Amino acid sequence: MRFSMDFSAWPEEKLAGQRLMAGFEGKRLDRDLQGLIADLRVGGLILFKRNVESPQQLADLCRSAQDWARECGLPPLFVAIDQEGGQVARLGPPFTQFPGNPAMRDVPHAARFARITAAELAAVGINMNLAPVLDAVPRGSDSIMAQRAFGADAQWVARLGAAVIAELQTRGVMAVAKHFPGIGRTRLDSHIDLPFLDADLGSLQDYDLIPFRAAIQQQVAAVMLSHTLYRQLDPQWPASLSKSIARDLLRKRMGFKGVVLTDDLEMGAITRHYGLNAAIRQLLRADIDVALICRSAEKLRQAHALMVRKIGQSEERRSRAEAAAGRIMALKALYLT
């Protein structure tokens, strides 16, 4: 399937929907999931343990969702999952179980993890892995990422991360580098509340950003932004909503041209300090392409309605929405044709 890159005829509803990655409750293509795809025109789905009972069931779910999107006249769906290994692995046995990033011994070991994981994901219709974690954790730190990071040496993290990206993407599974610009020096869990980091740009460049530069050089498909407040870069908005970080740092300064995702907008860092409506308005201003809403169908509908209204308010907002659609569709054309 080939895609037109002329988005001038796309209605606001479609421009908005392609920017949503939706979580859902079921294990089958039921009426609720059909509605998310047909009514909201979502661009992607994210899977959790609650959606999985067996490889065959998972393959049926992914295939039927893609078939339904096609019947609705929509582009193929991103179908994403967190399959890092170790502490964060949504797929249990019989899928191969890996001990996680801290246990990676060398580049061949990391490449083997990615090679096997890519084959198993692709076999059931999952086309995007929300990995690798590129957060570097200083030695002796009680970082929230201590059990999920490759290690303390940013160059080591960069080498292993680049190997994972290359192996996943060579086998048709999009990699997502996270959590930009790095949360290895934070201790508070953004699922619960809003972490912050008092580090200037020079400090980030000398440490935290090293793995992300390597990921960009490796042509990583997408980058996920963190729900952390980097006070010296943007004192108001976390990275996941920050124009200074998403547009100015990641896109302009570092040259990333791919798709940019938020972390889950239902996490405590956002719900306790900003709220969904403010988050949606801000991510549109910041040229962030995809919003993750991982559970609530009501919040997905709320976000979609607000996006539609905002996109239709001016030619400038419409132009930004078309640019985001262009990045999303370019990635889908590369991997999902």
Please list the active-site residues: 191, 263
Taking CA atoms, 45 is separated from 22, 79, 149, 237, in Å, by 5, 5, 25, 26
CA atoms within 13 A on the CB side of 304: 25
Kindly report the CA angle at 59 between 54 and 60, in degrees rounded to 5? 100
Separation between Cα atoms, residue 207 and residue 42, nearest integer Å: 36
CA angle 223, 225, 229 (to 5 degrees): 155
What residues form DSSP beta bridges with 259?
222
DSSP of 157-218: HHHHHHHHHHHHHHTT-EEEEEEET--TT--S-TTTS--EE---HHHHHHTTTHHHHHHHHT
Copy the structure tokens of residue 75: 């582009």
Q: Of 186, 152, 150, which Cα lies nearest the Cα of 165?
A: 150
Measure the CA–CA gap between 257 and 323, rounded to whole angstroms.
Answer: 11
Distance CA 334, CA 337 (A): 7
- DSSP-derived letter for residue 151 is -
Q: Which of 48, 64, 9 is nearest to 295 (CA)?
A: 48
**Cα separations (Å) of 169 from 3, 23, 45, 84, 336?**
20, 23, 19, 15, 12
Strand partners, 3: none
Q: Which residue in 291, 268, 261, 295 sits closest to 279, CA to CA? A: 291
